[in-house]
Chain A
Amino acid sequence: MTPKSLAGRLNAVIDGWLTAPEPNAAGRLGLFRILYSAFYLWLLSFNFVANLSGLPAARRRRILLIEWLPTELPPAFFELLEAALVAALVLLMVGLRVRLATLVVLVIGCILEAFLTSADPEYSSVLLVFYIPAFVLLTNARWGHTYSLDALLRRRAGKPPVDPSIPSGPYFLPARAVLVVLSMLFLSAAVLKVAAGGTWLVYPSYMANLLLKKNVDAAIYGLPLNPLAPVIASSPLAHTAIRYQVLLFEALFVLGLFNRKLRSFFLALALVFHAIGGLWLVVTFTPVLIVYALFVDWQELRHRLWPTRLTLMDAVPSRVLVWSALSVAVVAGALWNVGGGLRAAVNLGGLLNWRTIWYPLLPVALIWWLMTLLELGRSAVSLIRPSPRHSPGEGRDLLPGARG
């Protein structure tokens, strides 16, 4: 086999993986768009970006993306950008001018987050503010093809509608691209912990001391404590095992690219990992949560909860729908920094915060993880003892990655 033909085959395998069918791809991406916008608004409700106005330049890190902007910016600048971002997120949620709204969310979101990062790096937000909208735009903003005003208006104009249940691979392309980036980021986390100055293999008591220190931090902030921290810290076997488990999980997450069952296993495990970090280690990695929602079949869920077609908007004239959506977007943007009522409405008066969101998610993630573990176990058994009812190879991925 020549290098050229080998490269050609590799390219074909990658193309096949990226565009492999995914159940309900069109519908779940449309529903994900709504969830993404709501999640983004919820995160924004806690972050007052205008807080950064006046922060001395000497206290900031240099971020190339915002180097061209003046260092002294008034609060109104940040509030204006924030208002525009909120308006764009509302439009994205209802699905009006989706491509433009996605572009605005990407650009303004990145500028605001870059300012926040210049004051204090928050690594988990890159997926929310950059990678997801960027990959959606690169793939023609298909998340506006279903469950959107755009789709409704297209249908009324006589154009064929997109069936939400189609398993068309291109609809799932942004999710797969984000999964690749997530794998790279997890791999980078593992590599940097053990190489290039990483300390995880140098300090045997790393995890014990970290758990105790985080418990002290939690006590200072008045947050709930980790009741297991003293127990784990006094058991070298336990804290060493946790340390290596973290490294193994981060390094092996990339395996989720090669098989759908492994993907579910690692995604569920990642959720458990983040939930434990959020609840007991004061690790605020909450923005990353939205990535995992990309891999939930929301269309199937909607179909089970509401099997009939949604006809709520059918009787409303298009002009009314469009102007109502635009009005809501403008009002939401205008009121975002007035008082605090709208922010409070979005985060339920602070009840749903970076930490409390993990309480319902931890049991769900644990159940999901156990189910995927069980499924992987079944697959392993069937590999060892092929069932006589099935042909050899059935039920597993013959070509790694071919089924995403």
Chain B
Amino acid sequence: MPREHRPDPAPDSSPRGTLWLIKAALLVIGLGLCVAGRRVGSWPLVTWGMFSRLTPKFPPGHVSAVELRVIGSHGEFVRVAPLDLFPMDRAVIADSLFARAFDKDERPLRNADRTYLEGLIRRRLPEVEPRSIQGWRLHWEVNPRALPPLHRDDPSFEPLGSFTASLQEAAGP
């Protein structure tokens, strides 16, 4: 294949108008980013403000996370972690959803969260016909400077309650 320089044979070889478009777009984007600041509502015109306002404290000696146990119609159960429903970059959606679905307060929104969670489980885990969904809080002792900082396979379990798949209140808060 010839590799010497040849003039651009493309029909739209004159970039004059394109150049103006690009420069105008870059100007608008630059100004837009200044105006957008930390706002997410203007997406895709957003700045990269992630981690900028964190105030990370030395990790506490104890952490916890919520896990689900989906009880099937034949009494079998499936453990569901956030990563079973969302990929890692969106796992925070499941993290907060699990916690909210078994929150002791926020009753009106909690029911909405439970409805959503149930629909989500039905869509993502079609092999299980959920009869009820239990919430369990897993607790770990943490030594932040150790490797590993916690023993993942050895948590203590705290039941958070359950709700039936038809969303009638069952045991628990």
Spell out A's residues near B (CB within 8 Å).
14-15, 18-19, 21, 26, 46-48, 50-51, 53-56, 58-59, 61-65, 75, 110, 113-114, 116-117, 119-123, 126, 129-131, 134-135, 138-140, 142, 145, 160-171, 173, 177, 180-181, 184-186, 188-189, 192-193, 196-200, 202-203, 205-206, 209-210, 212-213, 215-216, 219-222, 225, 227, 230, 233-234, 282, 284, 286, 303, 307-309, 353-355
Contact B21 A162 (CB under 8 A): no
Q: Residue of B at shortest CB range from A206? A: B56
Contact B33 A138 (CB under 8 A): no
> Which of B43, B49, B51 has a CB less than 8 Å from the CB of A188?
B49
Q: Does B75 count as interface, using CB distance less than 8 angstroms?
A: no
Q: Closest approach, in angstroms, between the C-beta of B86 and any C-beta of chain A? A: 7
Q: Does B147 count as interface, using CB distance less than 8 angstroms?
A: yes
Chain B residues near A160: list those with CB within 8 A: 9
Chain B: interface residue total (CB-CB under 8 A): 75
CA distance A257 to B56 in the complex (A): 34
Spell out B's residues near A (CB within 8 Å).
1-3, 5-6, 8-10, 12-13, 15, 18-19, 21-23, 25-26, 29-30, 33, 37-38, 40-44, 46-59, 63, 65, 83, 85-93, 97, 100, 109, 112-113, 115-116, 119-120, 123-124, 140, 142, 144-150, 152
Chain B residues near A142: list those with CB within 8 A: 10, 12
CA distance A216 to B60 in the complex (A): 10
Q: 8 interchain pairs (CB within 8 A)?
A: A63-B41, A121-B40, A142-B10, A163-B6, A189-B47, A216-B149, A220-B140, A354-B89
Task: Name, among A50, A126, A216, the residue most crowded by chain B CB atoms within 10 Å (CB to CB).
Answer: A216
> Which of A121, A198, A355 has a CB less than 8 Å from the CB of B46?
A121
CA distance A384 to B51 in the complex (A): 40
> Which of A161, A168, A173 has a CB less than 8 Å from the CB of B18?
A173
Contact B52 A55 (CB under 8 A): no
**A184 and B120 in contact, given A165-B2, A212-B144 (Cβ under 8 angstroms):** no
Chain A residues near B93: list those with CB within 8 A: 51, 119-120
**A120 and B22 in contact, given A184-B33, A210-B56, A219-B149 (Cβ under 8 angstroms):** no
Contact B89 A286 (CB under 8 A): yes
CA distance A219 to B143 in the complex (A): 11
> Which of A121, A167, A177 has a CB less than 8 Å from the CB of B25?
A177
Contact B90 A120 (CB under 8 A): yes
Contact A181 B29 (CB under 8 A): yes
Q: Closest approach, in angstroms, between the C-beta of A248 and any C-beta of chain B? A: 15
Contact B8 A64 (CB under 8 A): no
> Which of A177, A197, A210 has a CB less than 8 Å from the CB of B22?
A177
Chain B residues near A177: list those with CB within 8 A: 22, 25-26
Chain A residues near B124: list those with CB within 8 A: 48, 51
Q: Closest approach, in angstroms, between the C-beta of A246 and any C-beta of chain B? A: 9
Q: Closest approach, in angstroms, between the C-beta of B139 and any C-beta of chain A? A: 11
Chain B residues near A46: list those with CB within 8 A: 87
Contact B119 A53 (CB under 8 A): yes
Contact B46 A123 (CB under 8 A): yes
Q: Closest approach, in angstroms, between the C-beta of A332 and any C-beta of chain B? A: 20
Chain A residues near B148: list those with CB within 8 A: 219, 225
CA distance A48 to B93 in the complex (A): 13
Chain B residues near A227: list those with CB within 8 A: 147
Q: Closest approach, in angstroms, between the C-beta of B60 and any C-beta of chain A? A: 9
Contact A19 B15 (CB under 8 A): yes
Chain A residues near B21: list those with CB within 8 A: 138-139
